[in-house]
Chains A and B, each alone.
Chain A
Amino acid sequence: DAKTTQPPSMDCAEGRAANLPCNHSTISGNEYVYWYRQIHSQGPQYIIHGLKNNETNEMASLIITEDRKSSTLILPHATLRDTAVYYCIVRVARTGNQFYFGTGTSLTVIP
């Protein structure tokens, strides 16, 4: 699975959009981009995933560049409850294929 690079930490003002970048320059054609987050002491929570098209759901939007070498997770109106570690993971969607979580980006939403 391709390796990802994320900034170790970011701050965002409450109510503003949080834009979390991820670099995955070695991504292969059949690898998806997944985003999870982990709030302190809880299990990882699935946010969104995509292959090459931009995706949106009730939690966030995922913007993938045309060359697929990077992506951005957007939380449109960050709240204090969005403070968490966010993980960008690139992997082939195959059963038994683990998720390599890495160290992620620690997002702090500031009141």
Chain B
Amino acid sequence: IAGITQAPTSQILAAGRRMTLRCTQDMRHNAMYWYRQDLGLGLRLIHYSNTAGTTGKGEVPDGYSVSRANTDDFPLTLASAVPSQTSVYFCASSDSGRVGTDTQYFGPGTRLTVL
């Protein structure tokens, strides 16, 4: 069992280009999340999805879009990348079947640099 995988591991991108970060989980978790981590700011939620077919905005959604066509995949798209989107991006998933068990499990991250 792989858990959560993210691709690519790292990427250098020219400003204005479109980029999709991939996230796949094999735990059949119903909820998935995208965070970004910047030095001194901790992790901030970008978008989330409670279940396949639904998405919601987090704390810092501007400039990002997501889709959730199935349970396993939750891609994050930057339509036109800007340097301020340089960050480390983490995908997470959780199974909220029982109260108190909404523990989020994180992927290894994607390091994105926008020049």
Contacts and interface: CB of A to CB of B under 8 A. Distances in A.
Interface of A: 32, 34, 41-46, 49, 51, 87, 93-104
Q: Is the interface of A mostly helix, strand, loop or mixed?
A: loop
Nearest to A87: B42
B43 A99 contact: yes
A51 B107 CA distance: 26
A28 B92 CA distance: 25
A98 B99 contact: no
A45 B106 contact: yes
Closest 8 interchain pairs by CB?
Answer: A43-B106, A95-B96, A98-B45, A101-B42, A101-B43, A93-B102, A95-B31, A44-B106
Contact of B58 (A45, A87, A98): A98
Given A41-B109, A43-B107, A44-B43, 13 more contacts: A43-B4, A43-B109, A45-B106, A49-B103, A93-B99, A93-B101, A95-B96, A95-B102, A96-B48, A98-B35, A98-B45, A98-B59, A99-B43
A42 B108 contact: yes
Interface residues of B, number: 29
Contact of A43 (B30, B45, B50, B108): B108
A46 B3 CA distance: 13
A42 B103 CA distance: 18
Contacts of A44: 43, 90, 92, 106
B102 A97 contact: yes
B101 A46 contact: no
B53 interface: no
Most buried by A among B40, B50, B90, B104: B104
A94 B102 contact: yes
